[in-house]
Amino acid sequence: MAYKLTENQIRTVVERGSKALADYCINGNLHYVVTGSSGGLDSAVTLAFAERACKLVKTKNHALISVALVMPCESDHEDTKKGLLAAQTFGAQTITSCLDPAFACFTEKIKKSLDDKIVEILTKPGGSNAIANWNWSERVAQGNIKARLRMITLYHAAKMLNGMVLSTDNLSEYWMGFWTICGDVGDFNIIQNIMKGRELYDIARFLGIPEEIVKAQPGDGLKVAGTAQTQLGADYPTIDTIMIQLIQYGFDPNGSNRQLENLPQLAGVDPISIEMVAGKCLRGTYKRRGTVTLSREYLGLPAIEDIEL
């Protein structure tokens, strides 16, 4: 039988996720949690957890308010509507902030001057491949700008509220590197280790996420290339199926690219899909590693404990 969460497992996830957020806010004396409500499943689930945490802290005489920011940026109107619906469904205080002017300002006044110099640099040896893929790279880069503008807005709101930003990343997209550095990751992430294709939808239905959000075709909300499946090359259940089996065979998502030379055959899965998913995963390794920081020892500097003043 295919892997599927039981109702007890789902209930445990919901209870523990909500309690962890509630406890964190009580211990940190935080009274506001801020979520970017894009209209997608991930942010709706996060808002549902936030609502439950707000109710839990009341039993401990602590006040916690969930705030949803709806931030259209050349967005589909339906996405904005679903973002507002999710905020309303889960009792969040809602702020709508249109980022179209900020995006236009950046692309018109800053990006053009940057791109002219980048093209000049790429005309030197080694840049031919990047020049050839310029149009696609530009679309991705513009999507990244939108994501980072949203994160700037989220952190501004959180700062002014003396609160924190909730992340909305899931495990499937984490494996695939399908997120923007400095554009998606907040301060507290409940669903980072939940697979979207094989777990998150069942959790969403348990939480009462509106069906029009659950049934909507997943997208990036940034107008890079249509649906998420278009960019990922496979749907979420397929990605999860491949990654589960690869890891069980010893595949290291943060390991060497040499793993692509000896990928296992998986029953019922096209070898091309296996190679595509594994390759995309390994290309995103640098994102999952975060900033590389060289140690004092490596640099030949004495340990702080050993310095005599």
Tell me the pLDDT tens digit for each residue of 125-173: 667 777 777 777 788 888 899 999 999 999 999 999 999 999 999 999 9
pLDDT at 96 over 60: yes
| Alpha-carbon span 109 to 20, nearest angstrom | 44
Write down the pLDDT at residue 189.
96
Contact indicator for 67, 32 with CB cutoff of 8 Å: yes
| Alpha-carbon span 164 to 168, nearest angstrom | 13
Write down the pLDDT at residue 290.
86
The band of 117, judged by pLDDT with boundaries at 50, 70 and 90, is confident
Q: Taking the alpha carbons of 296, 302, 303, 305 in that order, is the dihedral positive or negative? A: negative
pLDDT at 80 over 60: yes
Indicate the pTM of the whole model.
0.91
| Alpha-carbon span 268 to 286, nearest angstrom | 30
Instruction: Name the average pLDDT for the chain.
Output: 92
Write down the pLDDT at residue 31.
98
Q: Taking the alpha carbons of 34, 39, 43, 44 in that order, is the dihedral positive or negative? A: positive
Write down the pLDDT at residue 233.
82
